[in-house]
Amino acid sequence: MRDPRVVPPDVTNTFGLLLALVVLTALALLPAFAEKFYVQLFTKILITAIFAMSLDLLVGFTGLVSLGHAAYFGFAGYVLALLTPQYEGTSFWLSLPIALASVALLAALIGFLVLRTSGVYFIMVTLAFTQMVFYLFHDTKIAGGSDGIYIYVRPITDLFGWRPFNLENFIHFYYVVLVLFVAVTVGLKRMVGSLFGRVIVGIRTNEHRMRSLGYPTFRYKLVCFVIAGTLAGLAGYLAAVQFGAVNPDMLGWHLSGSALMMVILGGMGTLVGPAIGASAMMLLELLFQGLTKHWQLLMGTFIVLVALLLPHGVYGLIASAARNRDKADV
């Protein structure tokens, strides 16, 4: 029996830290034991997890439900494709900052307009903007029209005559994505735990009260919108590198909807939750595809059941079980 006078530690934080260490160790060792297919699969999962976490920054922490998040994901991929010569590789160290800066500018322009709305109007306006970006690339010859454009040579990582890693090597690329995933996770964790994070959560809870306290809520929301868009652009850049092609589907609203389902499935406002949601959704999709050609029906049923039975997502269920077990030991 634990002494009841001793305040137990935050089991959620302890559990999250242990889970993170176990998962990170497993991911770091994955290429040593897994075949190429599974390494590439988990590379895709990590990229998608970055995308889902970037959306959770808006939905789960700031309370801004966006159906236009895919615009930044696809736009970064197109920037890389346009910067890459047809049969040569562009510089990784130049193309990545340019792609992220371009996406940040796009997010700032769109955010400056859409953040003047709220509720369902915000959802519809973000959807309208992503459709505008979609048709910009779909209906014009800027980058191959509806067929998209191939990236024949992945970015070159040469730095003063030294190549620290080769993106053509799937294991090297996996570790690059893993490092970026960890960096994004740690960065978001520190950000939401800072004053900025507490303010955006306060805006989600009661924006009028935060405004009355003197916080420029529009500025905070705009900065959050730009950060989320930039991180989505990072995921889009990495996806373009992995698959060697971009097409208008990367900009479609359905991709934003899929990311939103991952956030809900894993648990909104938890950072870890969207990563769990992305992993679960993609692994289940692979499983259901092997079971039946009507796998979308199974996936839809699963998501509906999670939404009805697990209002806080999969991570919320695990954390709740851990808390109940901790209370039982007191």
Set out the domains of the chain in order of their start, with CATH numbers: 11-25+33-325 (1.10.3470)
Over residues 39-64, mean pLDDT: 93
* Angular region, 225: left φ>0, alpha ψ -120 to 50, beta rest: alpha
Q: Is the dihedral of CA 70, 72, 73, 74 positive or negative?
A: positive
pLDDT on residue 83: 92
Percent of the chain whose pLDDT exceeds 90: 41
Over residues 198-221, mean pLDDT: 90
**Could you tell me which of 260, 242, 229, 263 has the C-alpha nearest to residue 71?**
229
Whether the model clears a pTM of 0.85, i.e. scores above it, the answer is yes
pLDDT on residue 14: 65
pLDDT on residue 323: 63
Q: What is the DSSP code (8-state) at residue 246?
A: E
- C-alpha dihedral, 265 to 270 to 273 to 275, nearest 10°: 130
Over residues 274-302, mean pLDDT: 84
**Could you tell me which of 158, 134, 160, 154 has the C-alpha nearest to residue 240?**
154
Over residues 277-306, mean pLDDT: 83
pLDDT on residue 267: 83
**In this structure, what token pair is assigned to residue 308?**
């009805």
CB count in 10 Å sphere of residue 115? 20
pLDDT on residue 232: 95
Asked if residue 176 has pLDDT above 90, the reply is: yes
pLDDT on residue 50: 95
CB count in 10 Å sphere of residue 223? 15
Locus of tokens 């040593």:
32
Percent of the chain whose pLDDT exceeds 70: 92
Task: Provide the residue type at 278 as one letter.
Answer: A
pLDDT on residue 173: 95
- C-alpha dihedral, 89 to 43 to 256 to 273, nearest 10°: -150
pLDDT tens digits for range 43-54 = 999 999 999 999
Helices (H), ranges, the chain: 11-33, 36-56, 70-83, 92-114, 119-138, 170-192, 195-212, 217-243, 253-266, 272-291, 295-309, 313-328
Report the mean per-residue pLDDT for the chain.
86
CB 228, CB 60: distance < 8 Å: no
CB 55, CB 230: distance < 8 Å: no
Asked if residue 16 has pLDDT above 80, the reply is: no
